[in-house]
A and B are shown apart, each in its own frame.
Chain A
Amino acid sequence: MTAYPQAMNKVQQDGQLLDATDRQIIVATQAGLPLVAEPFAALARQLGLETDEVLQRVADMQACGIIRRIAAVPNHYALGYIANGMSVWNVSDEHITELGGLIGGLDYVSHCYQRPRYLPLWPYNLFAMVHGRSRDDVMARVGAISALLGEHCRGHEVLYSKRILKKTGLRIKG
C-alpha cells in the first residue's frame, strides 16, 4: 500500500512538492532523534546533508503541518494514565461545530470527531477520547463535558477499552 500522509498530498496540491529528501528525513526521525548533543547533525551525517538544511526542512515541514509538533513524547500509559474512555455524545447537529470545538480544546481530550448516526442503533454523532489516571478521573471529566454541553446533549455513553487486540504504529514509507 502506498502510504503518504494526507498532509503531503495537501502540500503537493498547493504546489510545494515534498521531495525525496523530506521523505528521508521523515523516515529517519519517525522513531525519534538520537539522544546525542547534536542530534540534527547526526541525522545530517546519516543522510549526507548539512545540519542547517535538515533544520530548515524540519522547520518547513512544521510550518506546513506535516509535523504537528516536536516533542519528548510521553508514554501516557506507562506514566499512570491508564484509564481512557471513548465518550460518545448525541448533540444537536446545528450546534455541533461550536460544541466540538469546545470539547476538542479540553486538555484531557484527544481525538474529538464528528461521525454519522445510525438510528435507532447508534444515536451518537460526537466522539471524544477522555484520558485520566483512573475510571473515576475519567468519569469526573465526562461529567464536566456533560455540563459544558448542557441542553444541547440528548444522551451519552462511555466505552472503556478492555483489550488492545491490534495496534500498528506509523507506516510512512520512504
Chain B
Amino acid sequence: MTEKETAAAMLAILDTPATLTALEKCLLNEYQRDFPLCASPFALIAEQQGVTEEAVMGTLQSLQQRGLISRVGPVFAPQRAGASTLAALSVPDAALAQVADLVSCFEAVNHNYEREHLYNLWFVVTAADEEQVRQVLDRIEQQTGLPVLNLPLEKSFYIDLGFPLWC
C-alpha cells in the first residue's frame, strides 16, 4: 500500500468510524495476542465468535486491503543484535531539512523523526557493536557540527501485549 493509499484509508476511518462492523472491531481488538496456533485458525476464530470461517477470512482480508491491519502473524522480539541507541540533535530550523537528510542517509539509522522540542531531530542508530554505533554518532557530529545527545537504553519496562482499541 502506498503512503497515499494509507492516508486515504486513515481519512476514511476518521470520517466514518461507525463504518467498522461489530465483527471487524472484534477481530481488531480480540486477536492482538493469542491468535490460534493450529492448522485451521480461522475456523477456530469463527467458532469462538459464532460466525462462518468465510466471514472471518473475508473480514481479515478486507481489513488488510484497507490498511487497517498490517498483517496477521507472529510479532517477533525487536532486533537487539549488537548495539543500538536513541540519539537526538538540536538543529537550527534553517538547517533542519539538510541535517535530517544527512542523518537518514546513514544505513545504521533506521528511525528518524522530527519532534517538537529544542531537541528536534530524534533517531535510532543500530550497528554490530557499541564501537560502530559510536563511530556513526561521531561522523554525524563531524558532518553536522552539532553535539549528539546519546541516550542508550539502560532498562526496558515494556511488556508487549497489544492494546485495547475499544474499551
Contacts and interface: CB of A to CB of B under 8 A. Distances in A.
Interface of A: 1-9, 26, 29-33, 35-41, 51, 55, 58-59, 61-62, 65-82, 86, 96-97, 100-101, 103-105, 107-116, 118, 121-122, 127, 131, 157, 159-168, 170-172
A65 B110 CA distance: 23
How many chain B residues sit at the interface, stated as a range, is 35 or more
Contacts of A172: 76, 79
Contacts of B80: 5-7
Given A131-B163, A167-B110, 17 more contacts: A35-B42, A35-B60, A37-B42, A37-B53, A38-B39, A62-B74, A71-B72, A72-B28, A78-B66, A80-B17, A82-B14, A86-B115, A101-B157, A109-B158, A162-B113, A166-B111, A168-B111
A78 B154 contact: no
Given A115-B151, A163-B113, A5 B31 contact: no
B27 interface: yes
B10 A77 contact: yes
A165 B104 contact: yes
Nearest to A41: B39
B92 interface: no
Interface string B31-57: 111110111111100000000010001
Given A5-B79, A79-B28, A161-B113, A73 B156 contact: no
Contacts of B67: 75, 78
A82 B13 CA distance: 11
Given A41-B39, A55-B38, A104 B158 contact: yes
A104 B28 CA distance: 22
Contacts of A80: 10, 13-14, 17
A67 to B, nearest CB: 4
Given A5-B80, A70-B35, A80-B17, A33 B156 contact: no
A93 to B, nearest CB: 11
A30 B78 CA distance: 12
11 contacts: A30-B74, A32-B70, A35-B42, A35-B61, A37-B42, A79-B28, A109-B158, A159-B115, A159-B122, A161-B114, A165-B104
A61 B113 contact: no
A86 to B, nearest CB: 7
Contacts of B156: 104, 112-114
Contact of A67 (B17, B43, B75, B117): B75
B114 A79 contact: no
Contacts of B23: none
